[in-house]
Structure 1
């Protein structure tokens, strides 16, 4: 694992390092300056760490991705999307969506990795339209959503949340179907049964890095 200096412009390593203790962990240190986050994603790295830890930069192998045209749409989700009960908004109050993702209670997880520094940096990137969000609202109340960073035609999914059945699934389906020409690959970062159920699949890291260069 490589230790990064805490400086304005970080030179991120190529994600080819093998870490037998923590597979996929490429580097530690640096900072969450928005421009450094962009540099990291262009190399196929993303930050993920717990409170009290240094910034940890990951590039898993294999990497879970979702090709938008392969998304699975359940009947309940189709019904929800046709309903007039909810409003679906793009890039609306993205800072609120990010914070709500951090507040989501998740099984087998204590606390959240979405710190105030994460919220600040990604909200700044949202202001530059580098971070997108899809959100679900009911009578002015935020009910579900997701956010992620977009480079070229790649969307790096960061997190999602929901307060209602199928809310985050509906947001993901909208991302896949309404932006099919703008997004060719969704990086899911790490495998979950939820994403696999929706059509995501694992691919080799070298193939992911090839697609990253192709689409950005």
Structure 2
């Protein structure tokens, strides 16, 4: 495991351990975060822990044409139950992602420092959000890092049933129109799998990321 200094540097992702941990330390500057994502690396740690940088193998991704939209979800989309916007309320989206309670988790990995760091990336046009509204109230959404051909999803939230799924489907449809290669979902979970996401080898992910 590599211990980062103030130098703007990450080791090759092949040095990550079997859990996917590559490095510890460093900072959450915009420059370091941009270098991380373009190198196939992301930060993930809890309050009180040092910054930990990950590059898991395998990698959970969605190839956009493989999106699964259930019949019930299609019905919700066709009924226009929700309104979807893009990049209209980034700070509220990431704050809701921080505060939402999740099964099996005692706390959150989205620290206050994380929020400020990603809001700076949003100001730079790199971090993007999807907002889902119902009766003019923000009820769901997601955010991530936009690399131009790959979108790196970070977190999503839902205050009412299906709101985060609506955000996810809206994002995928937008990425398809704009000819993105894939949506990076980082690590496996069964909810993502139900939407069509699957694991691929890190080497394959890196080839797509580097446009090789």
TM-score, with structure 1 as normaliser: 0.94
- Which stretch shifts more, 172-181 or 196-205? 172-181
Q: SS state of the match for residue 114, structure 1?
A: coil
Match of 2:196 in 1: 199
Alpha carbons 1:65, 1:202 under 8 Å: kept = yes
**Most deviating of 164-173 and 174-183:** 174-183
The offset of 1:51, in angstroms, is 0.7
1:94 and 1:184 mapped to 2: Cα distance? 24
Equivalent-residue separation in structure 2 for 1:64 and 1:83 (angstroms) = 31
Deviation string, structure 1 residues 110-156 (Cα, Å, up to 9, x no partner): 11010111110111111121011111012221100010001121000
Aligned counterpart, 1:87: 83
Note the C-alpha offset of 1:18.
4.4
Give the TM-score of the pair, scaled to structure 2: 0.96
Tell whether 2:74 aligns with 1:78: yes
Find the counterpart in structure 1 of residue 113 from structure 2. Answer: 117
Change over 3 Å in CA distance of 1:46–1:18 after alignment to 2: closer
Q: Which residue of the partner structure matches residue 50 of structure 2?
A: 54
Deviations 1:164-206, CA, capped at 9 Å, x for gaps: 1111111111111122143221110010000001000100011
The Cα shift of 1:39 comes to: 0.4
Give the Cα separation in 1 of the matches to 2:174 and 2:200.
Answer: 24
Structure 2: gaps (5+ residues): none
Aligned partners of 1:63 and 1:154: how far apart in 2?
Answer: 13
> In structure 2, the residue corresponding to 1:26 is in which secondary structure?
strand
Tell me what 2:125 maps to: 129
Deviating runs (4+, > 3 A) in structure 1?
none
CA distance in 2, matches of 1:115, 1:18: 23
The separation in 1 between residues aligned to 2:48 and 2:34, in whole angstroms, is 23
Deviations 1:29-76 (A, max 9, x none): 000011110001111000000111110000000000001111001122
**What is the alpha-carbon root mean square deviation over aligned residues?**
1.3
Give the distance between the partners of 1:18 and 1:175, measured in 2 at CA.
30
Which residue of 1 is the match for residue 4 of structure 2?
4
Q: What's 1:165 paired with?
A: 161
- In structure 2, the partner of 1:208 is 205
Q: Does 1:190 align with 2:187?
A: yes
Name structure 1 gaps, 5 residues minimum.
Answer: none
